[in-house]
């Protein structure tokens, strides 16, 4: 990311959220993005995912200039290259755990039954594959969401407060597992978190203050 700028117009007022943010993330590197509420963390993550577009500056994911993609190109980026994990799990309620895990990989044409089985085993849910999301605890649901993202073997994983809905102990366990699995796939990880303890588990940390790198 080079000199990223992003503002929103809200109630007739322009609020500059990102004021020239640059960062590099190498393949297989893990980076925690911290900063107080409103500092622009989610905005930055959304720009990397192509969920929103920059006002100025460049976002490259590998060789792809995300800012130059149209909507279809950004959808392809999220299907083929980038995996996004949100605080709210976003599992599909009508699908079993097994079908949820396979969902993105199938869409991306990258479904690998052995890898999905291994993921189910690694997240400790082999016995629960026929269950539905509502039958699982929050920690279990987020492990399914992580497996679903990694099943498609993205080059970049973007996680926005992935354990924001979990208690501290469960959160640390889920992040440890996510880091192991991300490392196995060789993906890079950018994770937004409010927690210094969780941030310390990643390779590097970047702190945003009022839209700039502090
Ligand atoms: N779509 C939008 N329209 C208008 N304002 C927005 C929009 N998205 C974000 N903002 C504003 O941009 C600022 C930064 O929001 P952002 O969600 O990036 O912060 P954050 O650091 O992730 O905060 P938190 O830790 O509370 O999630 C906030 O003032 C927010 O109200």
Question: Which domains, ranges and CATH numbers included, belong to the chain?
Answer: 2-213 (3.40.50.300)
Mean pLDDT of 17-24: 96
Residue with CA at minimum distance from ligand 1 atom 24: 37
Tens digit of each residue's pLDDT (9 = 90 or more) over 94-145: 999 999 999 999 999 999 999 999 999 999 999 999 999 999 999 999 999 9
Cβ contacts of 155 within 8 Å, gap of 6 or more: 27, 61, 62, 81, 82, 187, 188
Decide if the complex's ipTM is over 0.90: yes
Q: Is 6 in contact with 24 (CB distance < 8 Å)? A: no
- How far does residue 49's CA lie from ligand 1's centre (Å)? 16
To the question of pTM greater than 0.90 for the whole model, the response is: yes
Q: Is 191 in contact with 113 (CB distance < 8 Å)? A: no
pLDDT value for 19:
96
Q: Is 37 a pocket residue for ligand 1 (Cβ < 6 Å)?
A: yes
Q: Is 6 a pocket residue for ligand 1 (Cβ < 6 Å)?
A: no
- How far does residue 42's CA lie from ligand 1's centre (Å)? 7
């Amino acid at each position: 990311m080079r000199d990223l700028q992003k503002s929103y117009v809200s109630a007739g007022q322009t609020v500059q959220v990102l004021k020239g943010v640059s960062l590099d993330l190498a393949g297989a590197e893990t980076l925690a993005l911290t900063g107080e509420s409103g500092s622009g963390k989610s905005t930055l993550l959304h720009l990397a995912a192509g969920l929103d577009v920059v006002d100025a500056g460049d976002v490259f994911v590998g060789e792809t200039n995300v800012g130059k993609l149209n909507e279809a190109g950004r959808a392809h980026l999220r299907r083929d290259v980038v995996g996004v994990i949100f605080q709210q799990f976003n599992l599909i309620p009508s699908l079993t755990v097994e079908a949820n895990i396979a969902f993105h990989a199938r869409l991306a044409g990258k479904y690998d039954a052995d890898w999905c089985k291994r993921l189910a085993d690694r997240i400790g849910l082999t016995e629960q594959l026929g269950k539905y999301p509502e039958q699982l605890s929050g920690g279990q649901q987020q492990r399914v969401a992580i497996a679903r993202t990694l099943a498609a073997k993205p080059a970049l994983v973007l996680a926005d407060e992935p354990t924001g809905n979990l208690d501290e102990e469960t959160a640390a366990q889920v992040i440890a597992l996510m880091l192991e699995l991300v490392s196995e796939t060789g993906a890079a990880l950018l994770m937004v978190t409010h927690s210094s303890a969780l941030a310390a588990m990643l390779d590097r940390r970047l702190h945003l203050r009022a839209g700039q790198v502090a």
